[in-house]
């Protein structure tokens, strides 16, 4: 058997733009958080974040990797979390794809992405930012910690306060999630996405 060839790079020798392309292209698929926040002035915001995951279940901690804008200023999501201490993570199903893409546009802070996308806000229980009716699962979070990793990136940790499941995706007696019924999508590199319904427990061949 021919041994594979390798290409190895020192992290600091890779330009940040290329580093992003290499890492986001290799660490796939990534779940997508459609994060809803409210500014202190009461303006709703929704933004998809694919540098996102669950880091702990005891307590429940979710992590968001939020980039700054091209001019170095903080994006609305991070700014609202910093100022209010609250956010809601809505998991993105395939049916939400087009609306999620609308929310990914760069808009003025006073623009309501939820209204523009046609998504439906529902009242949260523990926090002010709404959850989205179209999302099969939503996590209400309070701000825990923000790590200022660089001038271009903040890692926001949120402590889960309340979880909402659409009734058909959860077996409440067994605390079991029917993942196929959520029909979630994940982020690949560049413009690519993937459906996450090819689920298996063993793989042959």
Cβ proximity of 38 and 98 under 8 Å: no
Per-residue model confidence (pLDDT) at position 122: 98
Q: Whole-angstrom Cα distance, residue 76 to residue 58?
A: 29
DSSP letters along 116-137, please? HHT--EE--SSSSSPEETT-SE
Q: Which domains does the chain have, with CATH numbers?
A: 15-21+28-191 (2.30.110.10)
* Residue spans of the chain under pLDDT 70: 205
Per-residue model confidence (pLDDT) at position 205: 66
48 CA to centre of own chain: 6
Of the candidates 194, 165, 192, 193, the residue with the CA atom closest to the CA atom of residue 181: 165
DSSP letters along 147-160, please? EEEETTEEEEEEEE
- The pLDDT tens digits of the residues spanning 94-119 come to 999 999 999 998 888 788 899 999 99
Q: Whole-angstrom Cα distance, residue 112 to residue 107?
A: 9
Structure tokens at 65: 């990797």
Of the candidates 36, 45, 136, 131, the residue with the CA atom closest to the CA atom of residue 91: 136
**Integer CA distances (angstroms), 191 to 19, 24, 171, in order:** 17, 11, 34
Q: Whole-angstrom Cα distance, residue 3 to residue 117?
A: 50
Per-residue model confidence (pLDDT) at position 72: 73
Q: Whole-angstrom Cα distance, residue 46 to residue 115?
A: 10
β-sheet bridge partners, residue 148: 154
Per-residue model confidence (pLDDT) at position 68: 84
Of the candidates 87, 112, 110, 114, the residue with the CA atom closest to the CA atom of residue 99: 114
Structure tokens at 96: 């939400």
């Amino acid at each position: 058997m021919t041994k594979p060839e390798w290409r190895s790079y020192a992290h600091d020798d890779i330009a940040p733009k290329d580093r992003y392309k290499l890492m986001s292209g290799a660490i796939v698929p990534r779940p997508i958080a459609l994060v809803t926040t409210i500014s202190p002035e009461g303006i709703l915001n929704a933004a998809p974040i694919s540098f996102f995951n669950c880091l702990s279940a005891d307590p429940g901690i979710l992590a968001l990797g939020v980039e700054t804008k091209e001019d170095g200023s903080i994006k609305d999501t991070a700014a609202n979390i910093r100022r209010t201490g609250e956010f809601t993570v809505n998991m993105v199903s395939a049916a939400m794809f087009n609306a999620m893409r609308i929310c990914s546009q760069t808009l003025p802070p006073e623009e309501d992405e939820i209204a523009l996308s046609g998504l439906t806000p529902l009242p949260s229980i523990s926090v002010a930012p709404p959850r989205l009716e179209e999302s099969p699962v939503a996590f209400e979070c309070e701000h825990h910690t923000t790590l200022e990793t660089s001038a271009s990136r903040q890692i926001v940790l949120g402590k889960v306060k309340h979880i909402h499941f659409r009734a058909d995706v959860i077996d409440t007696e067994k605390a079991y999630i029917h993942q196929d019924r959520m029909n979630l999508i994940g982020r690949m590199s560049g413009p690519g996405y993937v459906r996450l319904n090819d689920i298996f427990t063993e793989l042959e061949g």
